[in-house]
Amino acid sequence: MENIEYSNSLYQIYEIIKYMAPNLKARIPKKFISYFENNKSKDYNWKIDEVLPLEKQNLLLTTKEILTVLYRDYICDDLEKIKVNKILNDNEIEYQNQLKEKYNFEDIFKNKSNKEKNTTIENEQISVITYKKSFLSKIINKIKPFFSK
């Protein structure tokens, strides 16, 4: 499944590159363009809408990721590269914070300790219940050893 999505993304990238200005297209190494052309999907049919801007196009997530790397590494100038790297770093920090909130170790251990407390309370409740022998059964149990000899 991932292979199909990847080859479809390469198809989209190749189509986008065809519509790029020649000076921007020249910045992308030829080996990448030939890689996109040779490995793109043969069955995928997607056309770029020339009226819509690129961010409004129906692009696959993998396409967006690859285009971001191409833009950062080959198309933008040094000032833009700093801005793009800052945005990517901020996004990564935000993503890591979301993961920390979702998988917070302290909360996991708190939940575990709460479960342990619940089981100890259940054990205590179980141990409180004891069997009481009647007075008569106690006497019989004391007398039995004398008859067994």
> pLDDT-derived band of residue 62, with 50, 70 and 90 as boundaries?
very high
> Sign of the C-alpha dihedral, residues 30, 33, 35, 38?
negative
pLDDT at residue 50, as a whole number: 86
pLDDT at residue 1, as a whole number: 47
pLDDT at residue 143, as a whole number: 74
Residue pLDDT, tens place only, 84-127: 889 989 999 999 988 888 887 776 666 555 555 555 555 555 55
Q: Measured between alpha carbons, how far is 146 from 148 in angstroms, rounded to an integer?
A: 6
Is residue 128 scored above 80 in pLDDT? no
Helix then strand count (H, E) for the chain reads: 7, 0
Percent of the chain whose predicted confidence (pLDDT) is above 90: 39
Is residue 30 scored above 60 in pLDDT? yes
> pLDDT-derived band of residue 131, with 50, 70 and 90 as boundaries?
low
Tokens of 20: 């790029």
Q: Measured between alpha carbons, how far is 61 from 59 in angstroms, rounded to an integer?
A: 6
pTM for the whole structure: 0.63
Identity of the amino acid at 63:
T
For tokens 């997607």, what's the residue? Answer: 46
DSSP type of residue 17: H
Between the alpha carbon of residue 89 and those of residues 15, 85, 86, 96, 100, the distances in Å are 29, 6, 5, 10, 16
Spatial contact of 40 and 10, defined as CB atoms under 8 Å apart:
yes
First to last CA, the chain: 82
Q: Taking all residues of the chain, what is their mean pLDDT, rounded to a whole number?
A: 81
